[in-house]
């Protein structure tokens, strides 16, 4: 008996945006592969749901990524969507104060990890029948404008835009769509400092508006639910009054 339910792999699924998205997709009938470094948070996200497939995996390790995607495909027989969400940031510093190790780790997780996962998803989507699928990359408003002291993070998010555009172009002959969601101040553990005070471009430190992470999950679900004939190429979802719009 064939199973026509749609399937998605979500990276960084153990917390924050990835966890919220995974749980919403499960509620909407998707089979969901949960990628993260540690098994325990993935099990918490899955919460015993029969359609959740925890896939402990370091996204910076090519062999682990290949094994995780192969396992999901062997379970489901088809992959519809990848949400490339895993990422990290480092404390704010000017470039001369940034340890090289911080740069390398940020690039490895945010950019190389996204490349490795997109590479495996593309491979599966190109070869499967029916051919095609969708890759959604998690960018950031930092893909457009930086925060003070954010050279590694901002550089990787600008690079994600290049990854998105190129996959979107290269995927056309294979019915593979690729889009990007650029997020501003979703209230996760990583964004909690926003509610207390973060450096601004004018040198001040001020609290910023945030939004519920569920608003991101519903936006990703919308992007994923479109037919492959349509694509949200770029979507910016942000706290309405955060200082991204305007001067300051």
DSSP of 121-154, one letter per residue? HHHHHHHSSS--EEEEEE--GGGTSPPTT-HHHH
At 86, give phi and psi (nearest 5°).
-60, 135
- Which residues have a Cβ under 8 Å from the Cβ of 209 and sit 6 or more positions away? 185, 239, 240, 241, 242
Do residues 77 and 66 touch, judged by C-beta distance below 8 A?
Answer: no
- Which residues have a Cβ under 8 Å from the Cβ of 40 and sit 6 or more positions away? none
- Which residues have a Cβ under 8 Å from the Cβ of 247 and sit 6 or more positions away? none
Active site residue 153: yes
Do residues 153 and 142 touch, judged by C-beta distance below 8 A?
Answer: yes
Which of 144, 134, 151 shows the shortest CA–CA distance to 182? Answer: 144
CA distance 63 to 161: 25
Q: Which residue among 30, 73, 144, 153 is the active-site one?
A: 153
* CA terminus-to-terminus distance, the chain: 59
Which contiguous run of DSSP H or E holds residue 45?
Answer: helix 39-46
Q: Could you give the residue numbers annotated as active site?
A: 153
């Amino acid at each position: 008996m064939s199973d026509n339910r749609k399937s998605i792999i979500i990276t960084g699924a153990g917390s924050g945006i990835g966890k919220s998205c995974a749980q919403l997709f499960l509620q909407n009938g998707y089979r969901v592969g949960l990628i993260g470094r540690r098994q325990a948070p993935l099990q918490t996200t899955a919460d015993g749901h029969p359609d959740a497939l925890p896939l402990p995996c370091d996204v910076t390790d090519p062999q682990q990524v290949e094994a995780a995607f192969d396992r999901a495909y062997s379970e489901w027989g088809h992959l519809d969507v990848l949400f490339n969400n895993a990422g990290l940031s480092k404390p704010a510093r000017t470039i001369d104060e940034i340890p090289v190790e911080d740069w390398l780790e940020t690039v490895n997780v945010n950019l190389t990890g996204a490349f490795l996962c997109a590479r495996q998803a593309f491979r599966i989507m190109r070869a499967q029948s029916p051919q095609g699928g969708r890759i959604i990359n998690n960018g950031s408003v930092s893909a457009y404008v930086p925060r003070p002291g954010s050279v590694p993070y901002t550089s990787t998010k600008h690079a994600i835009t290049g990854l998105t555009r190129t996959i979107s172009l290269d995927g056309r002959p294979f019915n593979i769509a690729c889009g990007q969601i650029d997020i501003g101040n979703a209230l996760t553990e990583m964004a909690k400092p926003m509610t207390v005070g973060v450096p601004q471009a004018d040198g001040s430190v001020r609290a910023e508006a945030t939004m519920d992470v569920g608003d991101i999950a519903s936006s990703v679900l919308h992007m994923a639910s479109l037919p492959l004939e349509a694509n949200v190429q770029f979507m910016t979802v942000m706290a309405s009054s955060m200082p991204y719009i305007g001067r300051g």
